Structure 1
Amino acid sequence: MALRMRLTAITLDCADPRALAAFYEQATGFAPHPGSDGDFAGLTREDGLFIGFQRVAGYRAPQWPGQDPPQQSHFDFAVEDLDEAEAVLLELGAGKPEYRPGGDRWRVFTDPAGHPFCLCLR
């Protein structure tokens, strides 16, 4: 029998939780979580999905596509228009790595803390 689990939260390590939460708040429209403090910040989607950002001393950003340090985790976001979404995310502070293998189907970016994430056509 398979265990049925419902994903309720994703937490990313970073150096500045508030700054990273602000980036993802603007990018996703998720609401700030009221329990955020200096070492932890969070965002909540209407259906309850929670994204947390926790301060880690000596945080080292992942290197894409290299693996030292490894990418650790990444998000995939579905969008209607890759070019439009890319322009908005770059304005918000996303990075655009040189290695971007997705072509016209998906694109790799990095958030301000260095975590890779992808935009995929809806």
Structure 2
Amino acid sequence: MTVTSSRPTAVGTVASYAFWGPDGKTLAEFYAAALGWKVAQEFPDENGVPTAFLVTDGSTTFVFYTAKDFKAPNWPEDELPFHLDLAFTDVPAAERRLLELGATKPGHQPGGEHWTVLLDPSGQPFCISAGWSESS
């Protein structure tokens, strides 16, 4: 016997993407500057200390949390549960700017000509490229 429901299937959208690091404010400021966005809001913990920082362009939202016990992955040895891929029209200029903002460039670069791996100020890897296309 097949059971069908007349109720519609719930459909959701992603409200925000959340990231943890040793200093949420530093991460928020880094990614806001990297993307040309702004830190739009701060959220305090139970003691009134800001520990969460909302960064947005008006349509996409990232939240950066301060996690006292945060440990950056030992990449590439540690597998990553996820990371960001950021696209820029001028990748070499973006790389220079991101390094000036506090990113670092690890020696291990598995992307060849396709992407560059950088580490954000918390030590978490992210990639930069010209973006993806169907021919990529």
TM range (shorter): 0.7 to 0.9
Which residue in the other structure is 1:9 paired with?
16
Gaps of 5+ in 2: 1-7, 45-49, 132-136
Q: Distance in 1 between matches of 2:92 and 2:102?
A: 16
TM-score by length of 2: 0.78
Instruction: Provide, for residues 81-101 of structure 1, a one-character-per-residue CA deviation record: whole Å limited to 9, x for no partner.
Output: 221111010011101011111
Which residue in the other structure is 2:39 paired with?
32
Match of 2:119 among 110, 114, 122: 110
Matched residues, number: 119
1:56 and 2:67 aligned: yes
**Identical counterparts, % of pairs:** 32
Gaps of 5+ in 1: none
Over 3 Å counting, the alpha-carbon distance change for 1:72 and 1:113 in structure 2 is farther
Structure 1 outlier segments of 4+, above 6 Å: none
Match of 2:101 among 83, 89, 92: 92
- Given that residues 63 and 71 in structure 1 are in contact (C-alpha distance below 8 angstroms), is that contact kept between their aligned partners in structure 2? no
Larger CA Rg, structure 1 vs 2: 2
Q: CA RMSD in A?
A: 1.8
- Given that residues 64 and 97 in structure 1 are in contact (C-alpha distance below 8 angstroms), is that contact kept between their aligned partners in structure 2? no
Tell me the CA shift for residue 3 of structure 1. 6.0
